[in-house]
Amino acid sequence: MPPQTQLTLPDGRTVVLRRHPSRPQPDNLRAWDAADELVLAWMSGDTDGLLADDVEAPVAPGSVETAHGRTVLVNDRFGALAVGLADRHPASWADSALTWEVTRANLVANGLEPTAAEVVPASNGLPPVGVAVVKVPRAKATLEWQLREIAAASSPGTVVVGAGMTREVHTSTVELFERILGPTVTTRARKKARLLLVQVDPVRIGTAPDHDVVLGETTHESHGVTVVALPGVFGAGATDDGTGLLLAHLPTVLPPAGTAVDVVDLGCGTGIVGTVVARDNPDARLVFTDVSDLAVASARRTLARTLPDAEATFHVADGLTACADGSADLVVVNPPFHQGRVVTDDIAWEMFGDARRVLRPGGRIVVVGNRHLAYHAKLKRLFGNVEVLGSDPRFVVMSAVRM
């Protein structure tokens, strides 16, 4: 077993963790980081040297659930905490369908029931929280929303353990924990990771607004669409330049209005692209799909706000796994080129391969990407043809046809 898949828990047990159960494990990437290891150590009672001599932790190491809540894991991306804390039967509150899949697969790989950790989609409210373990996300707006949700689901005695690499835990991070939850203590760094510890101030409990407001919905007008975005969704606040270029050239390949075609907005984000297609061709049968639960919820709202009577199918899924072979005439995509902090073209390759499977003969994929990503070479290799529809100094819009 490659060493990068084996994690030794504080009690001496070794567990096997993978980033994705059906893909080769990259040699230099693990399914956990030092912040996960630090959480597991703290929750087992290992505090050796973590706190300064004059600092008293507001929560005890190894804190168990209160009578009013359970252990909730937030942003446990590959299920390392779900496996390590499975004896608590935690709830894993996660946005990504890939996280849902990987968490269950890693539980099963270690002889645990897939239900040992309950997966809770991010667009759902939290269950009552006794202990919340929060892996600090990159976006401050996302963290603020998550902490407010935790406060709303807390009760007297609820404790929160934040965790992140030192590059992710700033003074502003501590201030955010303190403003929303209460007085917060940080540990010393261990292997470039540290914890934030707080017992939720009873004054803050239940003070969050109703769920739709807590979700932090933002709206803006773009290309004749009322674009709705929930926290962390790509395209919140303004339509990115790449999508703008894609929309400018999309009419050249769209079937004319009145043509009944099957169109997939792959990696739909806020759903602006699919909504423009639905507006310009009301007879198109639209599918919106994204790995992000919050993105799909945003796309639903974008379509409903812009075209209240429009109908579409929505999938929270990894790529096009929810779409049948030969079921689409057009796939439109703006692929992400990073996974967390890792820059990779793996996601684009999978999206393009999925599109080839899902497109009918004569069907078309339309892609926008940064010039330096060389998507044209990948499309030509997969489809045998590629056409540049338009470009600017940063982005290129390309098309390929399924032969």
User: What ranges do the domains of the chain cover?
Assistant: 3-211, 217-401
Q: Do domains 3-211 and 217-401 have the same CATH topology?
A: yes
Q: How confident is the model at residue 214 (pLDDT cuts 50, 70, 90)?
A: very low
For range 273-301, the mean pLDDT: 96
Give the closest residue to 115 by CA, choosing from 94, 93, 86.
Answer: 86
* CATH topology assigned to domain 3-211: Rossmann fold (3.40.50)
What dihedral angle (degrees, nearest 10) is formed by the CA atoms of 257, 261, 288, 328? Answer: -150
- 217-401 domain in CATH 3.40.50.150? yes
Q: Does position 338 have pLDDT exceeding 50, yes or no?
A: no
pLDDT in tens, 80-111: 999 999 999 999 999 999 999 999 999 999 99
Q: Does position 317 have pLDDT exceeding 70, yes or no?
A: yes
Give the residue with greater pLDDT, 172 vs 2: 172
Give the residue with greater pLDDT, 159 vs 4: 159
pLDDT in tens, 58-80: 776 666 566 668 999 999 999 99
pTM for this structure? 0.91
Q: How confident is the model at residue 113 (pLDDT cuts 50, 70, 90)?
A: very high
Going by the DSSP 8-state scheme, the letter that residue 86 receives in this structure is G
Provide the percentage of residues in the chain whose pLDDT is more than 90.
74
Q: What is each CA distance from 59 to 133, 200, 222, 303, in whole angstroms?
A: 12, 10, 47, 45
Question: Which amino acid belongs to residue 308?
Answer: P
For range 293-303, the mean pLDDT: 97
Q: Which of 25-29, 151-155, 347-351, 361-365 has the lowest mean pLDDT?
A: 25-29
Cβ atoms within 10 Å of 52's Cβ, excluding its own: 11
Average pLDDT, the chain: 90
Q: How confident is the model at residue 287 (pLDDT cuts 50, 70, 90)?
A: very high
What pLDDT score was predicted for residue 136? 97
* CA separation for the pair 55, 186 (Å, rounded): 9
What pLDDT score was predicted for residue 248? 96
